[in-house]
Structure 1
């Protein structure tokens, strides 16, 4: 299945799941909780304040070598948006991609997503647990804090 077919399919609209595609075009679904939505909002708001420009995107689709992955939150600079607009899915990852873990996510799955977003050009990938504890990754490896958001997170 192609990503546009997922977006256009009326049967897949308004599902209480995050939908992604694997590299074979099969649909993967993860249940989303209200806390998950709350964390998306908090992280997006913090990115908006901390970056002082650019665009925050919720449910940001990125074409990776393992299919379409959907970052829970992403931040894209004005330069990124000028170059890529809002193409769906992005062929290049925005500068910051954030994944919020769900109970169904394994550590290996999250580590793989970090590497997939970094391989597609993300400067940082954040992984946030259900308590709001966040780990930060860059191409050089795990970092103590974000280097992209000056007021910390």
Structure 2
């Protein structure tokens, strides 16, 4: 199955799950919670207000070496949008990809997604937990903060 098949399939449009494809074309679904939705909205709003020189994308699909992965929230610079537009899925990751961890996510799954987004060109990957923790990763590994993240924690965990 290709990502375009997933996007165009009417029976997959309103599922209460986050959908991704693995490298074999198999659907992966994880349940969504209201708390995850609240964090997704808070992150999108905070990024939109603090970094207006780009675009915020929720449910951002990225073609990786392990299939299509979907970042819960992403931020793409105007230059990224000028180059890639709104193609689905992106062949390169936007500058910032954010994963909101659900109870069904394993540590290995999240670590793998961080590595996949960075390998596809993301400058930063944030991993957000519902217990007011946000980890930030770059090509250097985990870092304490970044110019992109300044003030964001305070906005989303209030």
TM-score range, shorter chain: over 0.9
Q: How does 1:4-153 map to 2 (within 5 A)?
A: 4-153=4-153
1:151 deviation in Å? 3.8
Comparing 118-127 with 39-48, which one deviates more in the overlay? 39-48
In structure 2, distance between residues paired with 1:123 and 1:110: 17
1:150 deviates by: 4.1
2:43/2:152 contact within 8 Å kept = no
Q: Distance in 1 between matches of 2:143 and 2:50?
A: 18
Q: Which runs of 5+ in 2 are unaligned?
A: 154-158
How far has the Cα of 1:100 moved from its partner? 0.2
Per-residue CA deviation, residues 69-101 of structure 1 (Å, 9 max, x unaligned), is 000000000000000000000000000000000
Shift of 1:130: 1.6
Distance 1:73 1:47 in 2: 9
CA distance in structure 1 between the aligned counterparts of 2:150 and 2:127, rounded to whole angstroms:
18
Could you state the TM-score of these two structures normalised by the residue count of structure 1? 0.96
Q: Which runs of 4+ in 1 moved over 2 A?
A: 146-153
- Whole-angstrom distance in 1 between the partners of 2:86 and 2:52: 20
Q: Work out the CA distance in 1 between the residues paired with 2:134 and 2:112.
A: 17
Alignment root-mean-square deviation, CA: 1.0
Aligned counterparts of 1:59 and 1:95: Cα–Cα separation in 2: 15
- Secondary structure at the aligned position of 2:79 is classed as helix
| TM-score, reference length from structure 2 | 0.93
- Worse overlay, 93-102 or 43-52: 43-52
* Between 138-147 and 72-81, the greater mean CA deviation after superposition: 138-147
Unaligned runs of 5+ in 1: none
- SS for the counterpart of 1:148 is helix
